[in-house]
């Protein structure tokens, strides 16, 4: 492709992205003369140049659009939605052709005649709200010397050979010459000033190939690393003659790094520039009136980050327009202004960029989310009952939840906020949401300034060091014999009790296949990480410091290993791999098998491996520890006591659409006095029964040797579990007793599903017992 | 694209067998290096090393050719080669001389050669008293192809 053509393509692409924004602004402002001139100029330049490089198809379309704009500029046409739509369509066509030229070097095949004809009709004032109104008020002559006469609108290209476009819009010439603009004239001085402003900006910028900048960035990263190495050496050597110059070198390096980073920065406006057009088109398609307000377009971001947030942002603005903003009639009925507002805001705060996307639409419907979440099995009714409104709203970030009533062409294609969240987290960002039903929704996205340098925690595992990006790390927990925190096992799945919750653990050794698995007696560290909405812990041998690292892509031969997001060189010169927690976690669940695919038989009385049984230890009625085989437990529930009802001398609760009896272990039917009650749910093939307990103590894996048999009904005997005497509860007896008490047939419980749900709740995987 | 004209090869040794690496592609020869292990990496990848600020993938030539690991006493050498945009460091037992090898002594690969060797060999040179296997780096470093096979 020759240089002139390349140059043209680059310029055209830039100009076209500016056009979208300006045209929408034009429609909104109803014919701001400055804008009209600017738009006319852009189209005119494109047309002129493409004639020069021999792109005739492009030239025809540009010419037809230019005619319309020329008439608008000259006041012969008023700005109408129809005219803007047609011009936008022409801009789209131009973009398409430009893209075609870019990829193949030649104009793609296609028929532009209908579009050109449509533009010609508009130019002739035959379509829509024509120039009539303008003509009625127009002054006979223009003071605007800079504006050519109507006939001249099509004239400038006559200087540019070849000239195939003349025939394209004959109507334009034939259109009745309307007298001119009702716009306030600008003095030549003003125009001149505007012109010099533009040109002086142009003189201060140069076009640089992105590859050059990338290379510069790599080199500076190297310099930073070398500097770090030098500083480390200096620290270990104490006083040195190198200290002072090194300090200076260090400072200059930092400044250089900052400057180079700046060259990679682009204003977020480059990503936003497509949005006004998008919102306008959506508004027309959906019959809504939407204003898009943007602040902080000039806020700069690393271009790599910009690329990554482009799609999520577009998706969210689409969402706001499609689901958020109501139809004009609905808005009026709700006492809101007819047109809705979507606002975009970008600013710096604390080393991060904050992007806010807010709309004054209908907000998130709690009821709809609840319904959808239940339908799609994302949460259970009980879980929902225990959730705050805020928590329920956050469900929109879960996969498989879309509250769109129907699939429109705009959104609701199954790609939802979960994808947005994932994409943002991929670049080390975070997203928050506040929504008020009826008042609107506000999203807050926090993203790092750059991806190239991140703070990372350096850990060791089996003698190898790894870096874990700090952004995903919540806390560090020391585990081992001398620590109150211990790693426990449930049928091989590792868990840690952390502030009364079970944290699923993964051993980095096991995941990466490094060395022998750790033993319980060793002191280890658990890196608690948050991935998406889940927390999990990674067991490592040691934790070192945090370090600022320069992320380098891994060699192509290692790219398939998605547990690593990159590699880096540490201050001491050694290479370490950077762990990708997201993928590490999926590796964990993957290695243990797909959770949902598990077949767990609730009827098997004991889940045993090497004679060891996982036992749920709890307290109920008295101080003695009690235990049941975990395999018999269907679910653990926290139920609100206000939902309990007394029926026929027994306590029941509506549970999963059925009545479930609740019993105390001693058989007494006493309404509990606290507000929430811990319940262990047992199920056989016919029914569920809930046992009221005071406290869940632990899940312990141990040999189940009943040493003292018990004559009391409901107790099998006593065994030593976890080093302490523990009463083993006879689950069958409880189920029998309830069956006798409530003799009603036909209940079938899907116990397996419940067990699965239990494991899901505990965040653990279990193979079939 | 085997070496057909007089070739200049760097001779290296693995388990007593001599191999040749095209000199034009050799960037560096290093002594034993601290290597970072990459867990889960494909067979033949020994890890990564830092070569003056560049991260270079270390290839365990013995593993790649199906040879037993060298005994603990050996101090392996590294030959850094450039392939496409990337650098690789080939870990070998020892590095010999640069040899000028006449085309007449070149033979296409033997059909009886071990498939793992035939896969990465450009050909064989008949030298006085010994044979040298010339390595085809683009095939040697084509891990995609290997994974697919």
A111 inside domain: yes
Tell whether the model's pLDDT for residue A19 goes beyond 90: no
Q: Would residue A769 count as lying in a domain?
A: no
The answer to whether the Cα torsion of A230, A234, A236, A240 is positive or negative is positive
Closest CA to A468 of A424, A429, A428: A428
Q: Do A227 and A302 sit in the same domain of this protein?
A: no
Q: Which residue has the higher pLDDT, A327 or A74?
A: A327
Structure confidence by residue, pLDDT tens digits, A364-394 = 888 888 887 888 777 788 878 877 777 788 7
Instruction: Give A515-570 pLDDT, tens digit per residue.
Output: 776 666 678 899 998 776 678 899 999 998 888 787 777 888 887 788 888 888 88
* In a domain? residue A599: no
Query: Which range scores top for mean pLDDT: A148-152, A332-336, A472-476, A756-760?
Result: A332-336
Q: Give the containing element (helix H, strand E) for B92.
A: strand B86-92
Strands A340-349 and A300-302: unpaired
Q: What is the CATH number of the domain that holds B17?
A: 2.40.50.180
Which residues are CB-contacts of A115 (< 8 A; sequence separation ≥ 6)?
A61, A64, A86, A89, A90, A93
Q: Residue A497 burial by CB count (10 A; 0-12/13-18/19+): exposed, middle or buried?
A: middle
Q: What are phi and psi of A86, to 5 degrees?
A: -65, -40
| Contact: B143, A576; criterion CB under 8 Å | no
Statement to judge: residues A704 and A742 lie in one domain: yes
Task: Assess whether A493 and A438 both reside in one domain.
Answer: no
SS3 A336: coil
Which stretch of A1-15, A754-768, B53-67 has the lowest confidence by average pLDDT? A754-768
Residue of A nearest to B40 (CA): A512
Q: What is the CATH number of the domain that holds A626?
A: 2.40.50.180
| Nearest alpha-carbon partner for B91 in B14, B24, B11 | B14
Q: Which residues of B touch A (CB under 8 A)?
A: 34, 36-42, 45, 47-50, 53, 55, 57, 86, 141, 143, 147
Under an 8 A CB cutoff, do B53 and A556 touch?
Answer: no
Same domain, A147 and A272: no
In the predicted model, is pLDDT for residue A193 greater than 90?
Answer: no
Q: Is A403's pLDDT higher than 60?
A: no
The pLDDT of residue A159 is: 39
**What is the domain extent for residue A256?**
210-263
Q: Cβ of B45 and A464 within 8 Å?
A: no
pLDDT at A163: 39
* Distance to chain A for B119, nearest Cα, Å: 18
> CA of A576: which chain B residue's CA is closest?
B36
Interchain pair B50, A574: CB under 8 A:
yes
Q: What is the CA radius of gyration of chain A?
A: 35
Rg (CA), chain B: 15
Position A644 in a domain: yes
What is the mean pLDDT for each group of 10 consecutive residues in chain B (149 residues)? 66 92 91 89 90 87 87 81 88 91 82 83 88 90 70
Looking at the fold, whether A525 and A658 belong to one and the same domain comes out as no
Residues in A closer than 8 angstroms to B147, CB to CB, are: 560
Domain that residue B30 falls in: 7-148
pLDDT > 70? residue A406: no
Angstroms from A252 CA to nearest CA on chain B: 19
Q: What is the pLDDT of residue A141?
A: 39
Based on the domain organization, do A21 and A134 belong to the same domain?
yes
Is position B2 within any domain? Answer: no
Is residue A423, in this structure, part of any structural domain at all? Answer: yes
Residue A192 has pLDDT above 60, yes or no: no
Q: Tell me which residue in B49, B50, B57 faces A558 most closely, judged by beta carbons.
A: B57
Q: Is B52 a member of any domain?
A: yes
Q: Are residues A240 and A200 in the same domain?
A: no
**Residue B64 resides in a domain:** yes
Q: Could you say which residues from 558 to 597 on chain A have a Cβ atom under 8 Å away from some Cβ of chain B?
A: 558, 560-561, 563-564, 567, 569, 573-577
Residue A145's CATH number: 1.20.120.160
Task: Check CB contact under 8 Å for A577 and B86.
Answer: no
Mean pLDDT of A695-715: 74
What does the pLDDT read at residue A468?
92
| A294 lies in the same domain as A431 | yes
Rounded to whole angstroms, the Cα distance separating A530 from A341 reads: 34
Q: Average model confidence (pLDDT) for chain A?
A: 74
Nearest C-alpha of chain B: how many angstroms from A597?
25
- How many domains does chain A fold into? 5
Q: Do B50 and A573 touch (CB under 8 A)?
A: yes
Q: Is the pLDDT of residue A169 over 80?
A: no
Q: Is the pLDDT of residue A461 over 50?
A: yes
> How many domains is chain B partitioned into structurally?
1
Which residue of B30, B33, B39 is the best one to mutate when testing the A interface, meaning the one whose CB has the most A CBs within 10 A?
A: B39
Write down the pLDDT at residue A467: 93
Q: How close are the terminal C-alpha atoms of chain A, in Å? A: 67
Residues of A in contact with B141 (CB under 8 A): 557
Same domain, residue pair A233 and A304: no
Residue A226 to residue B37, Cβ atoms within 8 A: no
pLDDT at A752: 46
Q: Count A/B contacts: CB-CB distance under 8 Å.
A: 58
Give pLDDT, residue A738: 76
A575/B36 CB distance under 8 A: yes
For residues A524 and A487, what is the distance between their CA atoms, to the nearest angstrom?
9
Judge if ipTM > 0.90: no
Cβ atoms of residues A497 and A488 within 8 Å: yes
Residue B1 falls inside a structural domain: no
pLDDT for A165 beyond 70: no
Confidence band, pLDDT 50/70/90 cuts, at residue A119? confident
pLDDT for residue A706: 75
pLDDT, greater one: A144 or A113: A113
């Amino acid at each position: 492709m020759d240089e002139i053509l390349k140059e043209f393509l680059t310029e055209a692409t830039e100009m076209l992205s500016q056009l979208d924004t300006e045209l929408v602004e034009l429609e909104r402002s109803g014919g701001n003369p400055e804008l009209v001139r600017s738009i006319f100029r852009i189209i005119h330049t494109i047309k002129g140049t493409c004639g020069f490089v021999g792109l005739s198809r492009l030239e025809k379309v540009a010419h037809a659009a230019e005619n319309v704009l020329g008439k608008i500029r000259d006041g012969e046409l008023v700005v109408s939605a129809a005219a803007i739509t047609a011009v936008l369509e022409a801009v789209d066509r131009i973009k398409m052709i430009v893209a075609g030229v870019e990829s193949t070097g030649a104009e793609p095949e296609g028929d532009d005649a209908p579009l050109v004809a449509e533009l010609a009709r508009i130019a002739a004032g035959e379509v829509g709200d024509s120039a009539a109104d303008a003509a009625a008020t127009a002054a006979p002559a223009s003071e605007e010397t800079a504006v050519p006469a109507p006939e001249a609108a099509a004239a400038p290209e006559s200087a540019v050979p070849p000239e195939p476009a003349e025939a394209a819009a004959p109507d334009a010439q034939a259109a009745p010459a309307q007298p001119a603009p009702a716009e306030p004239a600008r003095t030549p001085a003003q125009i001149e000033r505007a012109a010099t402003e533009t040109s002086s900006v142009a003189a201060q910028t140069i076009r640089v190939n992105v590859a050059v900048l990338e290379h510069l960035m790599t080199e500076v990263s190297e310099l930073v690393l070398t500097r770090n190495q030098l500083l480390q050496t200096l620290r270990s050597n104490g006083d040195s003659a190198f200290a002072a110059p090194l300090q200076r070198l260090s400072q200059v390096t930092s400044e250089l790094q900052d400057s180079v980073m700046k060259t990679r920065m682009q204003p977020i406006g480059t990503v936003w520039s497509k949005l006004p057009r998008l919102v306008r088109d959506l508004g027309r398609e959906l019959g809504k009136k939407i204003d898009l307000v943007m602040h902080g377009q000039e806020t700069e971001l690393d271009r790599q980050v910009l690329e990554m947030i482009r799609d999520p942002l577009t998706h969210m603005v689409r969402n706001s327009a499609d689901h958020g903003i109501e139809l004009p009639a609905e808005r009026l009925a709700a006492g809101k202004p007819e047109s809705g507002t979507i606002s975009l805001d970008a600013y710096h705060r604390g080393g991060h960029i904050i992007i806010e996307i807010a709309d004054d639409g209908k907000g998130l419907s709690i009821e709809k989310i609840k319904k959808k979440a239940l339908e799609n099995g994302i949460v259970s009714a009980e879980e929902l009952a225990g959730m705050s409104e805020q928590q329920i709203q956050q469900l929109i970030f879960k996969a498989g939840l879309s509250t769109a009533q129907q699939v429109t062409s705009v959104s609701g294609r199954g790609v939802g906020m979960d994808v947005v969240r994932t994409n943002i987290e991929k670049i080390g960002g975070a997203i928050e949401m506040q929504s008020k039903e009826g008042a609107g929704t506000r999203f807050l996205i926090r993203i790092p300034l750059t991806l190239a340098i991140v703070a990372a925690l350096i850990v060791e595992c089996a003698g190898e060091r790894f870096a874990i990006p700090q952004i995903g790390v919540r806390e560090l927990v020391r585990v081992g014999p001398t620590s109150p925190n211990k790693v426990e096992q449930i049928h091989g799945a590792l868990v840690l009790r952390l502030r009364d919750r079970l944290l699923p653990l993964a051993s980095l050794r096991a995941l990466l296949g490094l060395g022998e698995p750790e033993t319980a007696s060793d002191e280890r560290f658990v890196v608690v990480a948050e991935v998406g909405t889940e927390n999990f812990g990674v067991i490592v041998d040691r934790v070192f410091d945090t370090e600022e690292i320069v992320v380098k892509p891994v060699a192509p031969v290692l790219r398939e290993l998605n547990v690593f997001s990159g590699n880096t060189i540490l201050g001491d010169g050694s290479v370490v791999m950077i762990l990708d927690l997201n993928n590490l976690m999926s590796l964990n669940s993957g290695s243990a098998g797909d959770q949902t695919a598990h077949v767990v038989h609730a009827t098997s009385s004991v889940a045993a491996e090497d004679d060891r049984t996982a036992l749920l230890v709890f307290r109920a009625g008295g101080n003695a520890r009690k235990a049941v085989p975990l395999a018999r437990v269907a679910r653990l529930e926290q139920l609100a006591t206000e939902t309990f009802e007394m029926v026929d001398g027994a306590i029941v609760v509506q549970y999963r659409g059925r009545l479930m009896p609740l019993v105390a272990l001693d058989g007494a039917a006493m309404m509990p006095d606290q507000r929430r009650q811990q319940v262990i749910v047992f199920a056989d093939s016919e029914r569920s029964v809930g046992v009221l307990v005071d406290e869940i103590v632990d899940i312990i894996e141990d040999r189940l040797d009943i040493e003292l048999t018990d004559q009391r009904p409901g107790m099998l005997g006593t065994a030593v579990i976890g080093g302490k005497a523990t009463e083993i509860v006879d689950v069958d007896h409880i189920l029998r007793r309830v069956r006798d008490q409530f003799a009603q047939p036909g209940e079938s419980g899907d116990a397996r599903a419940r067990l699965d749900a239990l494991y899901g709740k505990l965040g653990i995987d279990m193979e079939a017992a | 694209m085997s070496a057909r004209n007089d070739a200049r090869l760097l001779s290296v040794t693995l388990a007593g067998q001599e191999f040749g690496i095209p000199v034009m592609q050799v960037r560096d020869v290093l002594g034993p290096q601290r290597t970072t292990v990459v867990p889960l990496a494909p067979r033949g990848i020994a890890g990564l090393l830092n070569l003056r600020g560049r991260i270079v993938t270390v290839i365990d030539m013995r593993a790649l050719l199906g040879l037993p690991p060298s005994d603990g006493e050996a101090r392996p050498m590294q030959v850094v080669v450039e392939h496409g945009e990337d650098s690789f460091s080939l870990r070998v037992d020892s590095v010999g001389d640069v040899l000028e090898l006449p085309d007449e002594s070149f033979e296409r690969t033997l059909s009886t050669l071990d498939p793992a060797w035939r896969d990465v060999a450009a050909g064989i040179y008949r030298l006085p008293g010994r044979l040298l296997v010339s390595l085809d780096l683009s095939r040697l470093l084509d891990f995609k192809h290997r994974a697919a096979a």
